Amino acid sequence: MSNFEKLLAATQSEFDSEIGQNPLIETVVSGQMKREHYVAYLRETYHMVRHTSRMLSLAGARLGDDYRKLRDWFFEQVQEENNHDLFCIRDLENLGENAEEILAVPPKRGSWGLVSQNYYMATYGSPLGILGVASLTEGLGADLGKSMAQVLRETYGLEKNQVTFIKSHAGFDARHIEDVKQAVNELLLKDSDLDEIIHGRRMTIYYYAQMFRDVLASA
């Protein structure tokens, strides 16, 4: 079993209960989502992803020369993830919403927790835990992005330029999750490294599930 397979197996029960059975996903696919839910999703996602490139920069800077290849990996991801918050802004504007007003609302518990834990791992905790974060976020985008964009178009009548974040990340994240697999499988040095990654993924599952519940409670 590869390191990445061990990572998924160690967190499968949490993923199934928190993400697989999350009521927001059921609400969307059953046709019961309200416009306010989608607006809230874009808002909370904006609050999360606007920090990603800075967090990755900080994390990479803390890795020493023994982790040189992994440090390079982090810095490569900085470029890949930079300015993805602009997709959320454009989607809101194309919905006819006042993006500045909406995004002035502070992040709710889930996105606040995601941002806080990521900066903690990047600056004081283990930067390796961020690989666990990426395994969850990139995996969700790759697995759900395309189908969710299709549901939003076909069930809710949203235009192509109103779902750019979700649709674009179906492609981005399909490539990025392969990058994460490669890093987890090939760039670790110690057995304890995988433990840090498992913990990062497990906590991200809980915070991400909370972000989904926050979105559902916004309407």
DSSP state of 125: S
pLDDT score for 171: 66
pLDDT score for 36: 97
Q: Alpha-carbon distance 107 to 111, whole Å?
A: 6
Residue 31 in tokens:
């046709």
In order, the DSSP letters of 95-139 are TT--HHHHHTSPP-HHHHHHHHHHHHHHHTS-TTHHHHHHHHHHH
pLDDT score for 147: 85
Average pLDDT over residues 139-160: 88
Q: Considering the entire predicted model, what is its pTM?
A: 0.95
Residue 30 in tokens:
């059953």
pLDDT score for 18: 97
User: ∠ at Cα 17 (11, 19), nearest 5°?
Assistant: 85
Which burial class, exposed, middle or buried, applies to 118 when counting CB atoms under 10 A from its CB (0-12, 13-18, 19+)?
Answer: buried
User: ∠ at Cα 61 (58, 67), nearest 5°?
Assistant: 130
The better pLDDT of the pair 216, 148 is held by 216
Q: What confidence category does residue 146 fall into, taking pLDDT thresholds of 50, 70 and 90?
A: confident
Residue 125 in tokens:
């905790």
What confidence tens digit (pLDDT) does each residue in 173-201 have? 677 889 999 999 999 999 999 999 999 99
What confidence tens digit (pLDDT) does each residue in 80-137 have? 888 999 999 999 999 999 999 999 999 999 999 999 999 999 999 999 999 999 999 9
Q: Alpha-carbon distance 61 to 166, whole Å?
A: 30
Average pLDDT over residues 189-216: 97
Q: Alpha-carbon distance 137 to 156, whole Å?
A: 24
The better pLDDT of the pair 218, 126 is held by 126
Q: What is the length of the chain? A: 219
